[in-house]
Amino acid sequence: MAGPLEQFEIKTLVPIHIGGVDASFTNASLFMVVAVTAVTLFLTIGMRKREMVPGRWQSMSELIYQFVAGMVRENVGNEGRAYFPFIFTLFMFILFANLIGLLPYSFTVTSHIIVTFALAGVVFVGVTIIALVKHGLKFFSYFVPHGTPVVMMPLLVPIEVISYLARPVTLALRLFANMTAGHTMLKVFAGFVILLGVFGVAPMVVIVALYGLELLVALLQAYVFAILTSLYLHDALHLH
Amino acid sequence: MTERQSPPSPDSSNRQGPTLEDLDARLRKARGIESSREGRDGAGAGLQSGMSGVGAMLRIGIEMVSAVAVGFGIGWLLDSWLGTKPWLMILFFFMGSAAGILGVFRATGRIAYGPGAVTRDEKSKQDAEVSARNDRE
């Protein structure tokens, strides 16, 4: 029987080595491609007819679009419109990666911390660059809380800097931990079903409930990632 | 949905006036709806109410752990650079813990989100002022 952690194993599908660097096409790469393709197909085929009165599929695409657009408008403001494509892409990719990972025999890309950390790192570096370009050296005033006495500065500024640097770590860890914990739990309960034989019905019921919860978590984590990106972007654009 | 204003009747003497006023009123109404929805209230509330129990615990735990880890990491790097092991490591561990607690407070919405940021009440007040100013212009 497969262990609960075997689902996270990376398997090389097409070995590629470029100058001593292992750049093989793995199952993780495959499911990233699948996620991107699924998003593209979902949106382009959904919007192909461009009806005035949208059908089911078209209104799904439009609802997601409006949901993210509203989120960006509310949390970043009007200046945030320029960054809408990025946040929308991020949201759709994470959402589809999470949801595709819930299909049996598939692989959850977002359950690997290096993937989520790369996403969070792009957000962090991008947001910091935007803030530096927009505000120049004034950006560093962000680390000084309002009305700080000069005496307290050597203590408070490093704390603020650490809490700023912890952002990408938090962002990456949250998505990774949620996905990994949920999938491991599902597999553990699936193991119980086989071990208990006839009485395996009980853990089976639990699995159904857990699966519903996992669907919620998949949606929620994509939302949380996108909304935190919007909040960080808001801070970068307005500083306070 | 908002009620549509009936189009001005053709026999009204000043056709320009009512339409512009109409538009202004409608704009004002739309802006009012927008500004009441604006701010982080919606987002924050959604985040907090959406994740109950285990989710919130995981979230707060991660907030704490990552700040401590980052603090410790910075201390370790500075130590190996300056050769002052283990003093900066210890110092930054405590700094990281402080940052972690700050992060937890921010995540739970007890204090304002960013350093020096205004609290939610102040923010909504400021938003109202800004929108009022925009309306006057």
In this prediction, the answer to ipTM > 0.90 reads no
CA distance A141 to A98: 38
Confidence of residue B122 (pLDDT cuts 50, 70, 90): low
Question: Position of tokens 């692989």?
Answer: A107
Nearest to A75 among B43, B99, B117 (CB): B43
User: Does pLDDT of B23 surpass 80?
Assistant: no
Cβ within 8 Å, pair A160-B65: no
Cβ within 8 Å, pair A160-B115: yes
What's the pLDDT at B121? 52
Nearest to B40 among A75, A169, A170 (CB): A75
The verdict on whether omega for the bond into residue B86 sits within 30 degrees of 0, i.e. cis, is yes
Cβ within 8 Å, pair A166-B114: no
Output the average pLDDT for chain B: 68
Q: Does A178 touch chain B (CB under 8 A)?
A: yes
What's the pLDDT at B84? 85
What's the pLDDT at A49? 84
Query: In chain B, which residues have their Cβ closer than 8 Å to the Cβ of A67?
Result: none
- Pair A144, A160: CB distance under 8 Å: yes
Q: Per-residue pLDDT tens, chain A, 240 aa: give them.
A: 568 888 888 888 988 888 888 888 999 999 999 999 999 999 999 888 888 888 889 999 999 999 999 999 998 988 888 999 999 999 999 999 999 999 988 999 999 999 999 999 999 999 999 999 999 888 888 888 877 888 888 888 999 999 999 999 999 999 999 999 999 999 999 888 988 888 889 999 999 999 999 999 999 999 999 999 998 999 899 886
Cβ within 8 Å, pair A227-B43: yes
Q: What are the distances in angstroms from CA B99 to CA A47, A163, B81, B103?
A: 46, 5, 23, 6
Q: Where are the domains of chain B?
A: 16-136
User: Does pLDDT of B78 surpass 80?
Assistant: yes
Q: For residue B18, give the amino acid letter.
A: P
**pLDDT of B90-102, one tens digit each?**
999 999 999 999 8
Q: Where are the domains of chain A?
A: 6-238
How many angstroms separate the CA of residue A7 from the nearest CA in chain B? 22
The verdict on whether omega for the bond into residue A203 sits within 30 degrees of 0, i.e. cis, is no
pTM of the model: 0.76
